[in-house]
Structures are given as C-alpha cells and as structure tokens.
Amino acid sequence: MLRVGYPLTLPAELLHDFPEEIALIAIPDDPDHVIEIDVWIPDFFPGRACRQWPHLRGVRLVLSMIAGVEWLPALVGPEVTICNAHGAHNVPTAEWVVTAILAVLKQFPFYLEVQHAQQWKRRFEAGARYATITGDARALYPPVMLEELTGKSVLLVGYGAIGKEIERMLTPFRVDLVRVARRARLDPKVHAVSELDSLLPNAEIVILILPISPQTHGLIGKQQLGLMRQGALLVNAARGPIVDTGALVAALQSGRMRAALDVTDPEPLPQGHPLWSCPNLLLTPHIAAASPQCAPNAVRVVAAELRRYLRGEPLRNVVQPGALTALRS
C-alpha cells in the first residue's frame, strides 16, 4: 500500500478527500524519529517542512499544497518527483490583486488614517495626494478624492492559471489589458517577457504574477522602475525577489510611483526595514491565498494527483520530473 505522509496540522475532516487505497501517515512539526513514506505532502509553511525532511525516508514523490515550490528541489534533491498545487489558489490570489488595486486607487489607506484621526475635512488632502503621485496638476472640480479602475491600462506579467483568473476578474472594469509571458503567443495575444521594457511606459498598472526562476529573479530593477510612468502602480503577488527591493524603495521614496505588495525580499520582512515605512505602499505579509478555502482547495488538487498516480496516469502538475516520472514515461 502506498504510504503518504501528510502534515499533522491538516484538519482531520480533509483526510476524507484522499483515496482509500493509501496509508495516511501523520508527520508532526518536529519529528523525533525516522518515518518511512513513499509520497510526501509538505506543510504549507516551508520552515516546518524543512524541519520534517531530515526524518523522512523513502520519498519518491512530493505533492505540494502550494504553487510556489522553488525551495523544494534543493531540499529533496533531483531524483524526487515534485508536483505543485497548480490551480488551487487562483481565486483568493486574484481577488487580492483586484482588491489591492482598488484599495490604492480609492486611497483606502489614507481614508483609514482619516477615520482614526476622526477629522472629516482631511478628505480634501486626497486631491493633493493624487496630484503629487500622478503629476496631474489640473484644477479639477469637484476635488479628486479617488481614482477609477475602469478603462486603465494594465500590464499583466505572467499568464498562467492565476494570471488568467486575474484577467477574468478585471474584465468588468473594461481595462486595456496587455499580457506578458515567457514566450509570445497569438490567441490570445501574449507578448514575450523580452518585450517588457518596451511595454512598461504605457502601463498605469503593472501586475506581477509569474514564478521565480533564474530568469525572473530581479526582473523588475532600477531600469524597469525608471521606465514606468509617473504615478504607475506596481502590484506583486508573485515572489519578492522578482523585484529589486533597493530600487523599489528608492522609487517609492522619490514619490513618482506606488506599489501593492503581498511578497517581499527579504521575507519575512524584518522590523525596521525601509519598506515598512515607504510612502505610497500597501503591504500585506504574504497572505493572498490564505482564505478558509485554502486547505480544502489544495487537498483536492493533491488528492486528484494521487488518484492519477495510483491509476498509472501521467501526473499533471510536475515541476521536477525526477526518477519516478522518468521511469514511467
């Protein structure tokens, strides 16, 4: 019988989603003995998973419950097959992106300050904030107190499952969407990432939702931030190292752009780091996918992969083939 190790922290009611033909073995946060398993489902938090790994033996297949698995190959080695949880967290992550964009454009962080200060008339400060960040110094009446998302030009950098869900959610806003991926495509039209520098100056909103890799590490640096138009909004729900943190801090402190981040580099972001106090920044601590549906959705993806494996079918979400997949192909 296939031995499947799962995190002890996983709610018991979710175990019913797994195939009956397997032996489920609970892995505690800090094991004190060797545990023999064939398939490993790591904890959601990499730190816990890294503490568990030295105690595991016999692992041939890793089924992650998260999409970002860049840390796993170095941990388990090249012989182990790794699958990610492709598709499990599309909706909450896409919702975070749209929410973050709207929160920035509607100046909600500022209006939260107004609420706490209990000073109604401070709302008129919003117009000056808008003029400073966008460079739009027109004498507008009534005063500007927020912006509209509808009709804005959006550059979507990353066109996988989450990117497509973001596009679906942005459709009612009738944005002018330009898609970017690793390679160019025709239907729908997708630009290659090599064209990024030529596309940045036209975008009012730039969304990053692509995996971290040697090619995407530092993709957005000083040059790219400098190409972005006055008042542009950079949204990163991918991985922190895709953006050069020092360059982003400098760009935000200059007052010429704004950002919404769910991920940072370094991460966790240490107390006192300059990002915490940057102007025109909305920052959340890597929580975009952490809805009540997070674990159930992830377990469904993992369980479906397990069923395919038991039936001898190709695995869908392979990110590292390993010896297992090579032998089956």
Widest pairwise Cα distance in the chain = 74
Paired with 178 in beta bridges are 155
Which of 286, 300, 307, 308 is catalytic? The answer is 286
The dihedral sign for the CA sequence 174, 175, 176, 182: negative
CA 114 to chain centre: 30
| Count of residues in the chain | 329
Active site residue 116: no
User: Which of 230, 294, 238 is closest to 264 using CA atoms?
Assistant: 238
Paired with 156 in beta bridges are 179, 207
Which of 36, 267, 316, 328 is catalytic? The answer is 267
Name the token pair of 225. Answer: 């931030």
SS (H, E, C) 4-56: EEEECCCCHHHHHHCCCCEEEEEECCCCCCCEECCEECCCCCHHHHHHHHHHE
How far CA 164 is from CA of 159, 160, 210, in Å, comes to 6, 6, 12
243 and 236 in contact (C-beta within 8 Å)?
A: yes
Distance, CA of 186 to CA of 198 (rounded, Å): 18
The torsion angles phi and psi of 289, rounded to 5 degrees, stand at -100, 0
Burial of 208 (0-12, 13-18, 19+ CB in 10 A): buried
Active site residue 229: no
Which of 48, 60, 239, 256 is catalytic? The answer is 239
Q: Are strands 56-57 and 61-63 parallel, antiparallel or unpaired?
A: unpaired
118 and 162 in contact (C-beta within 8 Å)?
A: no
Name the token pair of 156. Answer: 């979507």
* Residues known to be catalytic: 239, 267, 286
